[in-house]
Structure formats: structure tokens, C-alpha cells
A and B are shown apart, each in its own frame.
Chain A
Amino acid sequence: MTAAHGVMAEYDNREALLDALRSARAAGWQRMDAFAPFPVPEAAALLGVGGSRVAWIAIGAGLFGAALAYGVQWWLSVHVYPINIGGRPLHAWPAFLPATTIVAIVWAALATLLGMLVLNRLPRLSHPVFTAPGFLRASEDRFFLLILAEDPAFSVPAARDFLRGTGALRVTEPA
């Protein structure tokens, strides 16, 4: 067996996980992760992460898509392939707007999915946490707190002792 990925504690409700997370923060643990069967924004906030970066990625991609779509329409209609239709202006900006908006939306939506996945380092085929006994219930009804081995104060006994004191149902070591 390789070195431990960390030490993991299991809880059966959201409040217990949040309490454990708060006391872990107070005890000085820095590198942690938590797992839940549904969104727990408070826990994410305690770990210092929110969803705003996804939104910025989407906005950036949307603006880029808009510029690209408008630019292509302008470049093709005015410079590359100008067609004179009854003397109407070649740079017909109102007619360019529908496609511009729509393409911007597509870029933003695709970037939302990809941005979310990249920030989450997904997809991946496997992950050490899945080796923890009972972890499959993280997608059902159980809550897990993981103290990562990267934590400067990490040692298996210390993390174990701390997590045992938080009222965990069980404490395991995914490798």
C-alpha cells in the first residue's frame, strides 16, 4: 500500500460535517476536502471556495464568442464577400446582432461546463477517496471530511485522533 492520501471521517448528517469542519479549521488544519450527497455551500465557504470563478470563465468566453461572431460577420460581409443589395449598407449591424448573441450564449454555456470540469480536475477515471470503505454512500446519504496528507501538520495518528474526537461514525485511511 502506498502512503495514505489522508484520513477520512464519516458523518450521517450535514450539521455534523459542518461542526467537524469548523473545529478542524479552529484546530489549524489547512488542507482538507469534504464530501456530501448534495450541495453544502457553507462547507465550500469554510474550505474557501465558491462558484464565482465558473461565472467569470463563462462571461469571458461569452464575450470572446460575441466578438468572434460579430467580427466574422463584419469581415465577411464588408471585406471578403460584399454583396450590394439595393445599396443597403454592408455593415448592417442590426442584422448581425441575433447571430452574435446566440453564438455568445453557446460559447458561455460550453465554457460553463468545461470551466466547471477543469476547475474540479474532472473527468478522471479514479480517485484515492473511492478506496475508503463506505465512501460510495457519499452519493447517497453520508457526509465525509478528509484531512489531506499534504497538510503541513499531517500525520496519520494526529489526524485520526482529531477526527475521532469530532463524533465521526468511523475514521478510515484512503490510500
Chain B
Amino acid sequence: MSLPGRALRLLTLLAAGSLLVRRHAPAHAPGELPANEVAAIPLQPRFGWRFTASLGAAALGVLLLGYAVVGLLLQGTGLWGTNIPFVWGFDLINYIWWIGIANAASLFAVILVLRRHGLRTAVNRFAEAAALAAIAAAALYPILHLGRPWLFYWVLPYPATFQVWPQFRSTLVWDLWGIMAHVLVTGLFWYIGLIPDLATMRDRAVLRGRLRSARLYGLFALGWRGSVIHWARHEAAYRLVAALVLPMLVSAQTIVALEFASAVVPGWHQARLPLHVVATGVPSGLGVVLALAALLRRTLGLQQLIDDADMHLLGRLMAAASLACLVLYADEAFTAWMEETPTQRGMAARILGLYAPLWWGGLLLTALVPQALWLRSCRTGLAAPMLIGLGAAAGVWLDRFALVAGGLLHDHLPSTGPAYGPSLPEWTLLLGTAGLFAFALLLFARFVPVVSMYETRHEESEAEAP
């Protein structure tokens, strides 16, 4: 929202007789509350037409997702462009891509929490939310690509009539546990950090006479009353789950990469693949966090909470992550060069063959363009961080495409079948998951405090302490 828009919103709030929210309140008389911009955001009755329009567009995306899924259920995976030998297409490409975004966003949040870094107050909450939304989008793909998705529970160990049990020596079964655990643990991490802030929202809503909102927030706040004893256990729990997220991040993507590495395809059969997939995923998630930070501080007017120093730190981190990506790309080329002839040919096909523009695009967008973030001027505005951040996310997507489809160009067979190209239903599905991601994040910005309020209070009190 623009500056005049913000001023207008503030005026309407004041005009509505809301004495509770005051922007600059140096001292508080008893019974009067200090300003709390973060809590005020979800409690606004209206959010402006831009928000409604964005939410509408995202909702259309979710509808599109529903359409794509129903079409797939009715007709099957024949709708997709996949065929022998390209048995994996958009399903795997998009799955690894979304998981990468989720991983990097949670990795970032976890590190900030565990190191008690000052940046956590600014970006942690929505980094966690972005991770959760991305993992929801990711989790759809492996289920949908089963062919008969309604039978997905066959991978679970349950006493079936025919006494058939899952094959636990298969990476595909690991996949199930990896994804399920990722969804659960990321969700828990987000929710545990949210409980005290939901209590603040509840109390705020009560003081504003918004009893229905208060009941709803109160329900999810679980009766939190801010006892210091509860706080001690809460802090332990939050940090503990943060620590538990760490191995989770490595596992899900490593397992997917192992599925590739354990295949006999020369372009995939490499021990370095898990490292490559996990580490090149980082710029995608960080890029999304960076873009969201730039967007939220501008549209919700949170410049004081997500300040320039935060953006500088985040931007430099992103630049460093993409530098690491560059090293990995070099390592990829070097390893391929040192390998046997089939691997060399497979790699050459990826870099120079049919899907070469994708590989080079990935290199450009994830490893080279973000280097611009070393420049101060690229880190603060709105356009530069957003374009670079989302560009990096797109670049990682190109890299995944080059890996999944381009890796198969040179097999052990003399020739491979027709090349893979995504069909319209596949594009619809991708657009649909992007809609789901945006929809979840918009609802999150609407109903939940986007910045951790209690961590901010904590930080401020420590800054004031002698």
C-alpha cells in the first residue's frame, strides 16, 4: 500500500474512535494501551482493495489447482507430457523446487532462533509461514504423481486385508516419512512461536470490543496467560523444535536426491547430488524471504520493525548463498569432467543439449544475478530485492528442470525417446500451487501478526536495560 493509502487507513482508524491505537505515544496513562502496529494490522476491519484484489487472484489460482487436480483424478497422469524415458516431469521438478523454498526459509528461521539473532524479530515469523505454505504446495506433488493418488495410504504400514506391507528398503517409502514429517515439524515450529502472539491478539481484540475475533484468537492461543513459568517452558520448546527442524531440512531433499543418485542414469548417478540439491535450494527460499520482506515492509508500513539494517543483512546473506551456489556449479562441471565418458556425455548434454537454456538460465539467475546484492543500493528498495529474490527462486526452478529432464538426455541406450515438454494440465497444476502458496501467505498476513511481537518486546526491553 502506498504512503497516502497508509495515512488514509490510519485516519479512518482514528476517526473510528479507536483511542487504543496511537502511533506515537511516548507515555501511557493507566488503562490506555501503547501503540502496537503489528497487532493492529490483523484487527483492521478492512484491508483495502489492493489486498482484496490480490486475494481474489490467489483464490482463482486455488480454484485452478482444484480444476487441475480433478482433471488428473478423472483422466490420470496420461494428461501430462511425461513418457518413457522421461517418467518424471513437472511433478518432481516442482516438488523439489517447493521443498527447496520451504527448506531454505525454515533453515533461515531456525538459525535466527537458535542464535538468538536480532534479525529474528523482523523476518522469522513470515519466513516460517512461507516455509509452511511452500511445504503444503510441495506435498501435493508426490501424492498426485502416484497415478492413483487415492491409494496413497498403501505406503503406510497398516494391517491390510492381503497382509501386504510396505517395502522399507525402498527410497520411495523414506519419501513418505520425509514429507509427512516435514509438514508436521515445520507446522509445529510456526505454531509454537505463534501461541503467545495469538494471546496478544486475543487481548487486543477484547479491548477493542471485537469479541468474535477474541474468541477465535483465544481458542488458538490455548489460554496462554504469560506466566513466567510458562514462558520458560515455551522458550525451551520453541528452541527445541527449531533444533529438530534442522535435520528435517536435510532429510527430505536428500532423500529425493538419493532417488536420483541411486538410479543408473549417468547424469544423475553422482554422490554429490544430495549436496547439490540441498545447497542450491537455499537461494530460492532466501530469495522468497527477501522478496516478502521487501514487500511486507512497504505494503504494511513496517519499516521500523524490518529496518534497513535487516535488509542489508538479509541481502548479504542471499548474496553469500548464491556465491556458494556458484561454487557448486563449478564443482558440478569439474566433477563431470573428471568422471567416466558416459557421465561426461550426460553432463555435456545437460549443459549444451536441448535443455541448455534452462541450465544456463539457472546459473545466471541463482548464482550470478544475486551477486548484485553486494551493492548497498540493491538491498533496500522494493523493486531490486523483489526481482532478484523471485528471480533466484525462478532460477532454481530452471536448474531442477535441467536436472530432471536434461539429466535423461544421454542414457546408456543409443537413443532416447521424444523429449519431455510440460503439457497444459501440468502448467495449470504449477500455477495452481503458486496460487495456493500466495493464498496461504495472504491469509497469513491478514489474520496473524506478521512480525513476532513478543520477540520484538523482548528485544526492545533488552535494548533499554542498563
Contact = CB atoms under 8 A, between A and B. Distances in A.
A89 to B, nearest CB: 10
A128 to B, nearest CB: 10
A99 B224 CA distance: 35
B461 A14 contact: yes
Interface in B188-208: 188-189, 191-192, 196, 199-200, 202-204, 206-207
Interface footprint category on B: 35 or more
Interface string B308-331: 000000000000000000000000
Contact of A102 (B199, B230, B251): B251
Given A14-B461, A113-B192, A105 B230 contact: no
Interface of B: 28, 30-31, 33-34, 36, 157, 163-169, 173-174, 177-178, 180-181, 184-185, 188-189, 191-192, 196, 199-200, 202-204, 206-207, 222-237, 240-241, 244, 247-248, 251, 255, 454-455, 457-458, 461, 465
Contacts of B200: 37, 139-140
A66 interface: no
A169 B465 CA distance: 20
Contact of B184 (A83, A101, A106): A106
A167 B198 CA distance: 30
Interface in A31-49: 33-41, 43-44, 47, 49
Given A35-B227, A98-B177, A112 B240 contact: yes
Interface residues of B, dominant DSSP? helix
Given A109-B241, A113-B192, A36 B226 contact: yes
A113 to B, nearest CB: 6
Given A101-B251, A124-B223, A140 B36 contact: yes
Interface residues of A, number: 69
User: Which one of A49, A53, A72, A134 has the highest number of Cβ atoms from chain B below 10 Å of its Cβ?
Assistant: A49
A2 interface: no
Contacts of B189: 109
A113 B165 contact: no
Contacts of A58: 240, 244
Contacts of B207: 136
A109 to B, nearest CB: 5
Contacts of B177: 98-99, 102-103
Contacts of B244: 58, 105, 108-109, 112
Given A38-B461, A125-B223, A134 B228 contact: no
User: Which one of B174, B181, B226 has the highest number of Cβ atoms from chain A below 10 Å of its Cβ?
Assistant: B226
Given A98-B177, A102-B181, A102-B251, A139 B226 contact: yes
A122 B247 contact: no
A27 interface: no
Interface string A133-175: 0101111110000000000000000000000000001100000
A54 B240 contact: yes
Contact of A139 (B30, B34, B203): B203
A44 B229 contact: yes
Nearest to B461: A14
Nearest to A127: B225
A141 B25 CA distance: 13
